[in-house]
Amino acid sequence: MDEHTGDRGAGREAEPDHPGEPIVGRETELARLFRAVDPMPADPVLMLAGEVGSGKSALLEHAVRRAAAGGARVLRAEGRESESSLAYSALHQLLRPVPAEVDALPERQRAALRDAFGEGPSASGPDLMLVGVAVLSLLSDMGEHQPMLVVLDDAQWFDRASLDALSFVARRLEGEPVTMLVGARGGDHVPGFDRNVPTLTLEPLDNAAAGQLLDLQPESPTGRTRSRILDQAGGNPLALVELARTASAQDPPAGLPAAGPLPVADHLERIFAARLSSLPASTTRALLLLAAMDSADSAIAVPAGLPPAEDPAWLPARQSGLVRRTGPDIRFRHPLVRSAVYHAASWGAQREAHLALAETLRDEPDRRAWHLAAACAHPDAAVSAELERTAGRARRRGGHAAAAQALRRAADLAPLREDSARLLVEAAAAAVFTGDIAWVEELVAAARTRTDDVALLATAAVQAGRLAVLTVRHTVVFSRLAAAAEQLAASRPAAALDLLSGAAVVRFYSGEDTQRHRIQEVLRRLPANASYAGLRTWVATVSDPFDGRARLVSSLPRLAAEAEDRPERLTAVGIMAWLLDETPQAVRAFDEAFDRWEAQGALPEGLGGAVAWAYVERGRWEQARAACARVTAVGRAAGLDHAVACAATVEATVLAFQGDASSARTRAEDALTQVDPLESRSVAVYARRALGAAAAAEGAYETAYDQLRMLFTADGTPTHYHACYPALADLAAAAVRCGRREEAVAIVERSASALADNASPRLRALISRARGLLADPEDAEPHFRAALADPVLEYWPFERAQTLLDLAEWLRRRRRVAEARGPLTEALEVFRRLGARPWIERARAESRAAGLDVTDAAPDALAGLSPQQQQIVRLAARGLTNREIGEKLFLSPRTVSSHLYRSFPKLGITARSQLRDLIEGTLATAAHQE
């Protein structure tokens, strides 16, 4: 790996050889930490937040000692500001003490970690999701032997790639013998850990505790000096200790800061800097070299000229409380000491230190490049090029934040303005994948100040727009994208179409009809060009799939053929096919794309939820939930609430179909809290559909109708131009059962009239089913038959099975029992294959009433399992190992094993080998329908 760890001792499992600091006034917080590291903690993850010097590290050290005394194994990583630009440096630091355990991982997981650390042969970089699974598996495996404690201190300085992997793990520790403690500065943003993570905040010490801490100092201050210290420290433990040390070392205590509102961190840094003036020159030089280093590893320390830990040069610094010895290394007592030492030095001394370090790092080009950059006072083309190469290596390992940081610095050092602007645009493109839209916009704005190049500025606008469409700011984002597209329509039509394609996605999410008109206006201004045909079709399909649907459908085979070797374009074709209700073609495109494309952890593309929805409609619910898991993990890591909300609505729908109404409601309500329903009508509609399905699964049809009625305005107009129509049949089914037939008829007919000849076969079938449900009994049959007439409707198995059940119920009530048995048998078979428990029960009850001998076939035993347990059992029945199942579902092998252990008694089996026979019939049916 090109990036070594931070302080060597931070990554080791050994205890430091310095005594623990006394804990005063933190008894409650310490007790909470002890509960966290004791067996069976309430929360597997705990964030410890506090300002500089509040005692986070000391408390974490006590927790480590408590855990170790209880038999836990401890892995630690400590954030370093200088390493925040080195991809996976924090994760490498954490796992560095356990190379044998890493080597024992399955090949794909081991390779993913090696690629992340720059040790593997992969040219394309690691699968970022697989990196997370690998870390989760490793910790879980180690936990089989003894409890695990993972301590992440100063996490606000962790590199983004490490944070993404570790937050992925943190969300999956429930039930694992692993506890994670995260220390971070209060108020700092720690991606992945600052939402829904239990947080223990360290407040300032009260006067009594502050006084007690002063009394414990070697020379406890008294009188006016004591009062000044208490006033200046503001309850900060480190400030109290260091101010007391300063006061005792001077008579009178002139080193105390003057009274005033100076921040505690600034107070402390001045105190540490003041101690430097009395140190010998050899000590000062050693301290500066240590401060300039991004690692204290002896492998580079000696060649760089850093004295060994036993050298007399360190003694004055240790006596002044600036450093301490930890095993074979010297470490600063606090990050603020490092900062004070570095900034107190002259520019010439700083430059000399960085050049000395760069000379020793010729075999580690990334770290060398950053030291060379730190030694540059003026633009330097060679160093800029080194940083650009560093960015390329970081990008290949999935370190998008590290790449963006390197490119940003490379831009600063580029002598030519056009090169600087180009590098800033490239930095923005890399930053897109962090999800930090403010950073992307900052980089784009900087690029605009350095160039007038229309093409480059167009590229910058496209990069900003790519991320903007994934946020919840739909109204603002649409206006910005549309305006930029209008400006570029004449001079840069390709860039204008790129921007317009993003605007179309925003239009889908928002459902705002005025946006469609503006998109059409810009399209009319763009010149016709065959090379832009694919983008034009995308914009037209996404913004209005019913306008000229036949023409749009006819273009799909050509676009699919053109995209054959381009997975990202295949995905776009799949999304268009899904929007046009060509679900079979959508699923084929997605399958082909994923066969050719090892996902690199990129952000969810615009309308990425279409993948999961297509799998739901096609009856491949396991794949739908796996797609949701990936979008959720990536979206949460990037802070993209809208992407997470989209995935939540799909998962909620599947949970409702499978009969887990409570979990479905939780997921749907989560989605509604993450977006503004007026800004994100598509998410609101999908969430209401899931809530309606959950209510219907429980037989609460009045509630189901109320939820689905919200999809339409008072006069029956759909609130979203695409997402509402598939709910028409469910609305009708609920209306019939709660006495709202007349109102539902008006809504269905209004939608049917609006769609007219542009309705897809699927929507025509759903409307026919709705009409059959709402019709007078003597008039219903032709509608049900029409809903089942087209053979292509078999590609929507759940919807077709619902219609079969409706027809069978109607036939039986008309005393045509013999005719009802065929549809009932077929419907029950589909419901069983899908694990749709509420509909299984309905179909079984109706089958018994029709005189069918309905036995509890073996596959029906799955109905007693949770949806996730069903997924795991089906994969295990196919012969997948626990590790392989974990990779697919983003779970640890231990969690998979636990689910199987709990599932076997419910299935009436005792061994894994019995699973295949148990559901062989179900799998055969699924394979036949595929």
Instruction: Give the pLDDT confidence score for residue 2 in this predicted structure.
Output: 38
pLDDT at 306: 84
Query: Looking at residue 188, what is its pLDDT?
Result: 74
Helices (H), 511-566: 513-525, 533-543, 549-562
Task: Provide the 3-class DSSP secondary structure of residue 47.
Answer: strand
What mean pLDDT do residues 892-913 have? 84
* pLDDT at residue number 13: 37
CATH architecture of the domain with residue range 8-201:
3-Layer(aba) Sandwich (3.40)
CB atoms within 10 A of CB 557: 11
| pLDDT above 80 for 631 | yes
User: What's the token pair of residue 897?
Assistant: 């094993």
- Check pLDDT > 50 for residue 53: yes
Query: Residue 103's pLDDT is what?
Result: 93
State residue 299's pLDDT score. 59
Q: How many CB atoms lie within 10 A of CB 110?
A: 17
Task: Give the three-state DSSP class for 133.
Answer: helix
Predicted structure pTM score: 0.73
Q: Taking 80 as the threshold, does the pLDDT of residue 354 lie above it?
A: yes
End-to-end CA distance of the chain: 45
Residue 296: the pLDDT is 54
Residue 866 pLDDT class (50, 70, 90 cuts)? confident
pLDDT band at 857 (very low <50, low <70, confident <90, very high): very low
In this model, does residue 360 exceed pLDDT 50? yes
Residue 596 pLDDT grade (very low, low, confident, very high; cuts 50, 70, 90): low
Question: Average pLDDT for residues 824-849, to the nearest whole number?
Answer: 92
Confidence of residue 616 (pLDDT cuts 50, 70, 90): very high
Which pLDDT belongs to residue 903? 85
Of 83-87, 597-601, 790-794, 803-807, which range is least confident? 597-601
User: What's the pLDDT at 780?
Assistant: 95
Q: Is residue 425 over pLDDT 50?
A: yes
**What was the pLDDT predicted at 474?**
79
- DSSP H or E segment with residue 741: helix 741-755
Any residues with CB less than 8 A from the CB of 808 and at least 6 apart, and which?
A: 820, 821, 823, 824, 827, 846, 850
CB atoms within 10 A of CB 467: 25
pLDDT at 252 over 60: no
Q: How far apart are CA 169 and CA 887, in angstroms?
A: 13
Task: Work out the average pLDDT over 564-574.
Answer: 84
Which pLDDT band holds residue 294 (cuts at 50, 70, 90)?
low
- For residue 200, the SS3 value is strand
Does pLDDT of 858 surpass 50?
no
CA distance 652 to 660: 9
> For the segment 143-182, what is each residue's pLDDT rounded down to a tens digit?
988 999 999 999 999 998 899 899 989 988 888 999 999 9
pLDDT tens-digit readout, 475-511: 888 888 888 889 888 888 888 898 898 899 989 999 9
Give the domain ranges of the chain.
8-201, 207-257, 281-374, 474-544, 856-930
Query: Among 285, 220, 227, which residue's Cα sits nearest to residue 248?
Result: 220
Rounded to an integer, what distance in angstroms lies between the CA atom of residue 510 and that of residue 722?
A: 11
The pLDDT of residue 261 is above 50: no
Is the pLDDT confidence value at 17 over 80? no
What mean pLDDT, rounded, does the chain reach?
Answer: 85
pLDDT at 907 over 90: no
* pLDDT for residue 595 is more than 70: no
- C-alpha 374/C-alpha 280 separation (Å) is 26
Residue 262 has pLDDT above 80, yes or no: no
Question: How much of the chain exceeds pLDDT 70, in percent?
Answer: 89
Can you tell me the distance from the alpha carbon of 494 to that of 516, in angstroms, rounded to the nearest whole number?
20
Q: What is the pLDDT of residue 186?
A: 79
pLDDT at 765 over 90: yes
- Quick: pLDDT tens for 435-450: 787 888 899 999 999 9
Report CA-CA distances (Å) from 645 to 473, 667, 797.
Answer: 14, 9, 26
Q: What is the mean pLDDT of residues 512-524?
A: 92
The CATH number fitting domain 856-930, selected from 1.10.10.10, 3.40.50.1370, 3.40.50.720, 1.10.510.10: 1.10.10.10
Which pLDDT tens digit goes with each residue over 378-413? 999 999 999 999 999 988 887 888 999 999 999 999
Structure tokens that stand for 531 in this block: 């090379």
pLDDT attached to residue 263: 55
Q: Is the pLDDT of residue 930 over 50?
A: no
Find the mean pLDDT for residues 197-225: 89
**Spatial contact of 284 and 324, defined as CB atoms under 8 Å apart:** no
More confident residue, 253 or 468: 468
